[in-house]
Chain A
C-alpha cells in the first residue's frame, strides 16, 4: 500500500513538496546570512554606519559684549544681534514664482532675482539672502513654506559707530576676533563652543534623539567693561579728526592714560573706520591701532626718560647747570643742537628740556658715564640701556589687550661696536631707538606716579556668564622704576617746558593756573629705508600730563609726517596735546589743585 517517492511521484504533490522544501531551505540560508550580518558582523556594520551617519557640529557660544564707562554708568559699545540667513530646499518649492514674490515682499529685491535659486536643480540647499532682521525672519517663518528655512547667526553691532574702532577690532565671518581687543581677548570673549555629535540624514541634518547623540552645551563668552571713558574717547577722536586736517598729517595717534593704575581712558588714531562695515574697508592698515602697533623713533620726548634715569642714578641734580659747547664730536661725527639758541654757553637741566638740546641729552649720558666728565663710557651705555629695557620696559610689548602689539627696538649695549658711543648719544635724544606710543606713555607714567610701572590696560571689569563681576586689579610689572623723588623733580621740569613755549608765543599752551600741565615736544627724523634720514620729513611727538595736585592724566601724541611750517613736535604734535588738555580741563575731567 505505501508508495515510495519515485517515478510515480514525478508529478503533482510530490514535486510541489520538493519546491516548497527548497524555498524553506533558501529562507533558512537567509536566516544564517542574517545571523552573520546582524550578530557576528554587527560591530563592523555599526561602525560603518556611524562613520557615514554620525557628524559633529559646533554649537556656537554667545560672544561676550563690550561696555565702557559713560558718565557714571557702563554702556555697551559692542553688542550681538542675531541676524538670519535665508535658505531654500528647491525640491520643496512647488511654485518658485509665487515664493519669490513672497520673499521679495518681505526682504525687498526683485522677485525675479530669487527665481533661479528657488528652482535650482540637483541641490537641496541654496542660500537666498543674508542678514535678515528678526522681524523679516518672523515673516518668512510665518509663510510656513516647507522649502524655506532660516538660520540665526550672531553679528556684532556697534551703537556708537566707528567709536574706538581700532581699539575694539572686529569679528570676522568665522566668528574670530581680529585686531584690537576682539583679537587679543578672543578666547575670553568667544567662550567655548558646545559640541553636538548627532546622527544625521544624508545631507547632514541632525535626526531626532538617538543614543549615539551627545551634546556638550556651549560656555558663553565673558562680558568686558573697558577702562575707556566714552566722553573723553569721543572728544579725543574729534580732536584727532580736526588736527589731522589742520596739520596735514598722514596719521595721528593719541592716548590718555591714568598714570596711577595704567588704565587707558582714551586711545584713538585717525583716520579710522566703522567695524560694522569692516569688509568694505579698502585699506587694511586702517584696522591697525597705530598707538600700540606702530613704533617710531620718538625724538626728543625721549629726553624725559634720559633725564629721569640720570636723576635716579644721581648723575645729575634737577637744578644743575653745565657749559654747553653746542656740539660734541663722537666717533668722528658731530652732534649739534638743532635749535639755534646762541651757541656755546651755560645751560641747565630745565633748558635742556625746554630748548630740547641734543647736546644736553648727550651731556646727561656723559654724566651717567662719569660725573663731571665729557666722555661716553661703557658705564653710561650699560646704565642707560638697563634703564630703558629693565626699568622703562622698552623694546618689549607692554601686554596691553590689543592685537598685533609691537615690541619696538632698543639697540643692544654692544660695547664691541666701534660706533656704540655715537649710537647711544643718538638714543639719548630719541633717534636710533623705536618706541610705540603706549610704551613711551607707560614709561613716563611710571616716573610721574613715583616709580611703579603698571601694565597698561583697557579692561576695567570682567563679567562672567553667571553674572559674577571681577574687577581687573592694576598689574605692577616693575617697582622702583625710579625713586618717588625723581617724579617730583621731573614734574616741575616738564611744567617748565610748557611755560617756556607759552612764553615763546605758543598761546594755546596757556592753561588755567589751578592745574598742573607739563610736557615735552619731539621732532623726530624719519629713517629713509635706503639709508640715512630724510631731511624734509619729520614725525611730531608730544608727551605730557595734566592734573591738579598730581598728574591725573598722562597724554601722548604721535603725529606721523605732518606738513606744518615749523618743527613737527612744536607745531604738529603740541597743538594736539593742547587741545586734549584743554578738553580734559574744560569738560571737568580733571580735578583742580586743592
Chain B
C-alpha cells in the first residue's frame, strides 16, 4: 500500500512537473510572443512617426539629421551615416552622421564603382555583414566586407527611386549586440524607401527654389543692364569733367616758368604735374570701361549688315575682360588668311560669342577644381571656315565637358551644370545662344562634348541666304 502510495506520489510529481514545465514553456512562449509583438508595435510606431515627420521636411540637411537621429535612437544602433549621390563627381558623399559616444572616422566619399554600390544595384537589398556565415564566404564577398569595414558599416541600406540609387545609409551594430533580424530587415527596407522619397522630395524642393532664385537673378540682371546704360553715361560725364579739370591744372603748371622758383618749390610742381598726368591716364582708362559697358548694355539696333567676324570677336573679348581672366588660357584663332564676313546683327552675335567663351572659361575652371591635374594646360580654339555660302564657326575648349545624360537638357532654359557656389550659372546662356543663332539668324547650333575631355560648339550662319532674303 505504501509502495502504491509512493508510486502515486511519484506519478503525481511527474505529472505536476510535466504540467509545470509545459506551463512554463507556454508562459515563456507567450512572453516571447508579447515581446515580439511589442517590438513589432515599436517598429510600427517608429515607422509611423518617421514617415510623418520626414514627409514634412523640405530642408535636406535637416532631413538627413532626422534620419540619423531616428535610426540611432529608435532602432538602437551604435551609429548611422547617410551618403547622397553627387552627379557631377559620380560619387556618394557623406552628408550626415550620428555616432553617439563613439569616435568614428567615416570615409567621405564612396565611388559609384565600388563593390558595395555595385552590390546594392544588383540586389536592391540591404547588406548585412554580421549575418554572414564565414564558413561559406566567397572571395568576392570578402572584398565586399572589407569595403564595408572601411566605411565603416555593419550594414548598408539602399535608397532607390525607380532605378536610381540616390542615397545609402550605413549602420553600426545593434546596441544589444544581437544580429539584425528579419523584422529589422523589413523595417530597414521600408525606412530606406521612406528616406529615399523624402530626400527626393527635399531635393526637388531645393531645385525648384534654385530655379526661382535664378529667375529672380535673371530679372535683376536685366534691370542692372538697363541701369548700367544710364549709369555709364553719367560716369562718362563725370570722367569727362575730371579730364577737363586735370588737364587745365596741368596746363597752369606747365605755363609757369619754373626757372626763377626755389628748388623745393620746383620739385613740388613736378610732383603735382606727375600726379595730374596719372589722373589723366586713369580718366582715360575709366572711359574705356564705360565705353565697353555701353557697347554691351545698349539695346541693340535690329540692323542686319555685313560685319567682320574678327570685329565681333574683338568686341566680345573686350567685354569678357571685365568678367574673367583669360590670361591663363591659351587662345588659338584659326581663320585662314582672309577676313571672314558675316551677315548678321553685331550686338546679338557679340552676346553669342561672349556667352560661348564665358562658358568655356567656366568649364576650364571646373576641370581645374574637379580633376586637379598638375599638367593641365587650358586651351580655347576658335576656328572659322566658309563653305557653300555659310560660315562655320567652331569653339573648342578642353574644360570639364558635359556628361552624356545632361547633353539633351543643355538648351533648356535654367538648366545648369555649373555648381560652383557664387559662380553658378543662370542656365540661360545656351538658351539665348540658340535663340539668337537659330531664330534670328536662321542658323544652327551644335554641341558636342565629352566629360573630362572638353566641348565643341559649332555655329553655322547661312550668310548668303540670310543676306539675299533681307535685301
Decide whether A and B are members of one complex.
no
- Name A's B-contacting residues (CB within 8 A): none
